A and B are shown apart, each in its own frame.
Chain A
């Protein structure tokens, strides 16, 4: 049962019927039962892993809550009797206790993720480079392990930070961890946004069913009509990428960009559509990333829920940690000067050293975060390369930001002009497109060679032997892909320019036009969608994480 199969939609229909038929206060139990059945059907052997994570996080959060409650109680009792020093000492003592609990649960859960994901890679390196004979674990990664681990650990850290009280009911918490639409490829949910919607029981609303259904169809269109066709083409092109000309290699990168975006965002649309039909608004994961005007902006529009998680629970804690802040402050202290520099100077009103002290903590934390993003993508050097590529570009863009501003002023560039914005979008697309080389190459060195090839003179559309390249798709299929991509582009452009959702605009303007287009989308999926024997439509690129 995959997200694009008829079985899945029959399952969703059954869940919808039961969910809306039973009393509101029991509806969360339907979601829990459905989530456990769904997970069991897809990956029964992985069930103990997800149950362990849910149970350990639930118990750890309760423990943290208990320590916090006790501290508050003692504080209140001793309000007038304690001097500030005694209060501070007690606070320090409880913080230490809380840190230990947090560390225990984090190490346990991230430890499982790290061992399952990276043990075999480390063993391979040892065996290859040090002549070891260690045996591999050979365990298949539990379904959705990254997503449910990140989501659970985010919850635990929030409880540690006293953002909310812990959930006392283990079954309700288990629903938050296992909620079936998001288990395959996210989005990673914020507890305070998702959990109340899961627990309260939603009313049956026509708008929710309609918008949810339309979003599912739109996701299926992107996934089955475009992404799955392009996947077939990549299957033909990637094995011969070393024999084909540079022009074709650039085309492969373009095809992969389109496939990855339509695959991942299409899958997320299906997930959010199912959530929508249940009256549950799930996190937005994509905001037209290829309209970004810079790499930092791209990462605020691509895989938004993962990036938000990493920003909250990794980037900020590193960047504002005492050693990082002290490091920055020490540099600034060395360059204290009474002389005020003009704002339009090269380093934005600061000396170079002062500027370094201000930006280095954040820039280094960004570099570390992206290295971790890279390694999260896969246990291999090429994914580390992906992280370094993004991290290094962002590092230098932060470091040199005032210089770029200075240059823009000196060259009198109109930053609000359409031409400049289009240039920024294209420049970002090239940087992102080249970074995907690390995804499709056969190793780190192959990725670097492919990037190098993109910058050497372009040859014709043939192999080095002069024979025609087989793209794996017939002319008509390319017609479908190009038409599909034009539709996706037109919808994205409309959203980008107006800031409105197409579904809401259409329904507000004319309900029947909206239904005709919905029907058109359904027909397009049925006629042009890739499914049936021999087509791996249910597989999503991000499932493997």
Chain B
């Protein structure tokens, strides 16, 4: 999880991924950032995120993204 947050910080500087829980709702992450995050998840963790999983609830926090990755790995 720590490494995942470090990876997220490389994509979007200046966002507190440890604390933020409304990344999409508050406009901190845009669609272009989401695409880059999915690229990073594919590259670093080998997990394929399908377009149907690109929902605000799955990207509003680092924890939500991590949980989505666990679900998709199952």
Query: Chain A interface (Cβ within 8 Å of chain B)?
Result: 157-158, 160-163, 296, 311-313, 315-317, 319-320, 322, 325, 328-329, 332, 343, 348-349, 358-359, 361-362, 365-366, 398
- Smallest Cβ-Cβ distance to A343: which chain B residue: B13
Contact A296 B54 (CB under 8 A): no
Contact B36 A362 (CB under 8 A): yes
* Nearest CB of chain B from residue A336's CB, rounded to whole Å: 11
Contact B52 A362 (CB under 8 A): no
Contact B43 A320 (CB under 8 A): no
Q: Determine which residue in B30, B31, B53 has the highest number of CB atoms from chain A within 10 A of its CB, and name it.
A: B31
Contact A161 B36 (CB under 8 A): no
Q: Which chain B residues lie closer than 8 Å to A361 at the CB level?
A: 35, 39
Q: Which chain A residues lie closer than 8 Å to B42 at the CB level?
A: 320, 325, 329
A163 to B54, CA, bound (A): 11
A315 to B13, CA, bound (A): 24
Contact A312 B51 (CB under 8 A): yes
Contact B43 A315 (CB under 8 A): no
A383 to B37, CA, bound (A): 32
Contact A319 B50 (CB under 8 A): no
Choose one: A160, A161, A348; the contact of B13 (CB below 8 Å): A348
Q: Which chain A residues lie closer than 8 Å to B55 at the CB level?
A: 163
A255 to B13, CA, bound (A): 41
A317 to B34, CA, bound (A): 12
Contact A315 B39 (CB under 8 A): no
B38 at the interface (CB under 8 A from A): yes
Contact of A315 with B31 at beta-carbon distance under 8 Å, contacts A161-B50, A329-B42, A332-B43 already known: yes
Choose one: B32, B34, B48; the contact of A322 (CB below 8 Å): B48
B10 at the interface (CB under 8 A from A): yes
Query: Chain B interface (Cβ within 8 Å of chain A)?
Result: 10-11, 13, 30-32, 34-36, 38-39, 42-43, 48-55
Q: Which chain A residues lie closer than 8 Å to B36 at the CB level?
A: 358-359, 362
Contact B35 A319 (CB under 8 A): yes
Q: Which chain A residues lie closer than 8 Å to B53 at the CB level?
A: 161
Contact of A365 with B51 at beta-carbon distance under 8 Å, contacts A325-B42, A332-B43, A349-B10 already known: no
- Main secondary structure on chain B at its contact with chain A? helix
Q: Which chain A residues lie closer than 8 Å to B32 at the CB level?
A: 296, 359, 362, 366, 398
* Nearest CB of chain A from residue B61's CB, rounded to whole Å: 20
A332 to B7, CA, bound (A): 14
Contact of A325 with B38 at beta-carbon distance under 8 Å, contacts A316-B31, A349-B10 already known: yes
Q: Which chain A residues lie closer than 8 Å to B30 at the CB level?
A: 296
Choose one: A296, A312, A343, A365; the contact of B35 (CB below 8 Å): A365
A325 to B48, CA, bound (A): 10
A359 to B53, CA, bound (A): 20
Contact A362 B51 (CB under 8 A): no
Choose one: B10, B11, B13, B35; the contact of A320 (CB below 8 Å): B35
Q: Which chain B residues lie closer than 8 Å to A358 at the CB level?
A: 11, 36, 39
A332 to B36, CA, bound (A): 12
A325 to B49, CA, bound (A): 11
Contact B43 A316 (CB under 8 A): no
* Nearest CB of chain B from residue A322's CB, rounded to whole Å: 7
Contact of A316 with B54 at beta-carbon distance under 8 Å, contacts A311-B31, A398-B32 already known: yes
Q: Which chain A residues lie closer than 8 Å to B38 at the CB level?
A: 319-320, 325
A28 to B23, CA, bound (A): 37
Q: Which chain A residues lie closer than 8 Å to B49 at the CB level?
A: 320
* Nearest CB of chain A from residue B47's CB, rounded to whole Å: 11
* Nearest CB of chain B from residue A122's CB, rounded to whole Å: 30
A79 to B43, CA, bound (A): 31
A286 to B38, CA, bound (A): 29
Contact A312 B54 (CB under 8 A): yes
Contact B54 A325 (CB under 8 A): no
- Smallest Cβ-Cβ distance to B33: which chain A residue: A362
Contact A329 B39 (CB under 8 A): yes
A102 to B31, CA, bound (A): 25
Contact A316 B35 (CB under 8 A): yes
Q: Which chain B residues lie closer than 8 Å to A163 at the CB level?
A: 52, 55
A316 to B55, CA, bound (A): 11
Contact of A320 with B51 at beta-carbon distance under 8 Å, contacts A325-B42, A328-B39 already known: yes
- Smallest Cβ-Cβ distance to A162: which chain B residue: B52
A362 to B10, CA, bound (A): 17
A422 to B15, CA, bound (A): 25
* Nearest CB of chain A from residue B55's CB, rounded to whole Å: 8
Excluding A332-B43, A362-B32, 20 further A-B contacts by CB distance (< 8 Å) are A161-B51, A161-B52, A163-B52, A296-B32, A311-B31, A312-B54, A313-B51, A316-B35, A316-B54, A320-B35, A320-B38, A320-B39, A320-B42, A320-B54, A322-B48, A329-B39, A348-B13, A349-B13, A361-B35, A365-B35
* Nearest CB of chain A from residue B73's CB, rounded to whole Å: 11
